[in-house]
């Protein structure tokens, strides 16, 4: 039996389930929005036993972890202020230990731990060590350092270090603008010292590349974002009225080998990689998202990724 851990609203999970049904694979689905009863996580010198919602997970042969995490904290405990904050930290520690334990004995694709510990700088360093091209990058709290970095390149960009900002109160609403160009005028408005800013050289590109991977298989798509000013810097500044043209592409074998080395180095067996193909004919790694969307990639390129995921669990 396969265990699916996913949001109940996730379209991709629903499509994977259709394929599991088609191939006659038994599965159980746990929704990340709903409370799951942790009956016990029992550990002794001889064995480990885990039962959730009265289901012994020893009967589970494989796990696909799409997004979020199992929730063991009852909703009735969500309004206790600092007590709730403490209990959620305890719960988080428990959930991570459960995942680590299951990974030791089960085929486990995806990860809550990798999703929340998704650090762009770590991945840039790992990509460099795997001989992938990366943009020159800087994180600084100094206006002088940022100006010096800006002077080296025709243009630079800035993006979030980890998460896009989304802050809402009764008085303000602050949302990320995504990746954007940093001008000298913007820098001039900064104080001499500020919170850490993440900047990169802006590299002119022929097209952008989104790569979904699962285990050792890569599904790659070229995104022609350069003809639209709205998406020119980053295709994720979507133009819903005139979407970018997206086509399947084949990656060079040496690049696939570098990417495979990278995924192993950062211990990811699924995720979405963003790259660009520059005007000087280089493949350049930008970042990886352990839980990136792939529904649009699958449909645009007729890759049937959801079927490939289902088949991963037919082999166990």
Per-residue model confidence as pLDDT tens digits over 226-252: 775 555 566 655 556 656 678 999 999
Per-residue confidence (pLDDT) for residue 128, from 0 to 100: 97
SS3 content of the chain, % helix, strand, coil (to 5): 30, 30, 40
Cα dihedral across residues 266, 268, 271, 272: positive or negative: positive
Residues 6+ apart with CB under 8 A from 7: 13, 31, 32, 33, 66, 67, 68
Q: Determine the Cα–Cα distance for residues 18 and 248; give it in Å rounded to an integer.
A: 24
Token pair for 16: 């994977």
Mean pLDDT, range 111-128, rounded to an integer: 94
Output the pLDDT for position 238. 57
Section 188-197 average pLDDT: 93
What is the reported pLDDT for 187?
Answer: 92
What is the share, in percent, of the chain residues with pLDDT greater than 70?
93
- Confidence check: pLDDT of 134 > 90: yes
- How many beta carbons lie within 10 A of that of residue 250, not counting itself? 9
* Residue of 306, 311, 284 whose CA lies nearest to 294: 306
Asked whether 305 and 11 are in contact (CB, 8 A), the reply is no
Tens digits of residue pLDDT in 74-99: 888 888 899 999 999 999 999 999 99
Q: Would you say residue 316 has pLDDT above 70?
A: no
| More confident: 92 or 293 | 92
pLDDT at position 243 is 65
Across the chain, how many H-helices and E-strands are there?
9, 18
pLDDT for 31 beyond 80: yes
Burial class (CB in 10 A: 0-12, 13-18, 19+), 90: exposed
| Closest C-alpha to 110, from 21, 12, 251 | 12
Could you give the 3-state DSSP secondary structure of residue 70?
coil
What's the pTM value of the predicted model, to 2 decimals?
0.89
Whether pLDDT at 201 is above 80: yes
In the block, residue with structure tokens 């990656």: 251
């Amino acid at each position: 039996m396969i265990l699916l851990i996913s949001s109940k609203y996730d379209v991709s999970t629903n499509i994977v389930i259709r394929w599991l049904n088609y191939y006659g694979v038994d599965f159980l689905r746990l929704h990340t929005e709903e409370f799951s009863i942790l009956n016990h996580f029992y550990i002794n010198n001889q064995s480990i036993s885990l039962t959730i919602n009265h289901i012994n997970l020893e009967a589970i042969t494989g796990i696909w972890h799409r997004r979020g995490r199992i929730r063991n904290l009852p909703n009735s405990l969500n309004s206790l202020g600092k007590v709730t904050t403490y209990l959620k930290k305890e719960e988080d520690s428990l959930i991570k230990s459960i995942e680590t334990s299951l990974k030791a004995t089960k085929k486990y694709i995806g990860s809550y731990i990798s999703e929340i510990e998704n650090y762009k700088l770590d991945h840039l360093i790992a990509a460099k060590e795997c001989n992938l091209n990366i943009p020159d990058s800087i994180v600084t709290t100094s206006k002088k350092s940022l100006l010096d970095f800006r002077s080296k390149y025709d243009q630079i960009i800035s993006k979030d270090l980890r998460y896009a900002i989304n802050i809402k109160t009764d008085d303000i609403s602050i949302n990320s603008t995504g990746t954007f160009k940093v001008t000298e005028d913007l820098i001039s408005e900064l104080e001499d010292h500020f919170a850490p800013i993440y900047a990169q050289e802006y590299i002119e590109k022929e097209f952008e590349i989104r790569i979904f991977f699962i285990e050792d298989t890569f599904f790659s798509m070229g995104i022609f974002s350069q003809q639209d000013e709205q998406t020119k810097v980053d295709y994720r500044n979507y133009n819903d009225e005139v979407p970018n043209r997206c086509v399947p592409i084949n990656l060079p074998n040496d690049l696939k080998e570098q990417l495979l080395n990278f995924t192993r180095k950062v211990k990811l067996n699924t995720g979405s990689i963003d790259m660009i193909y520059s005007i000087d004919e280089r493949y350049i790694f930008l970042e990886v998202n352990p839980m990136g969307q792939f529904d649009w990639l699958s449909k645009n390129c007729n890759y049937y990724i959801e079927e490939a995921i289902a088949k991963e669990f037919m082999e166990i």
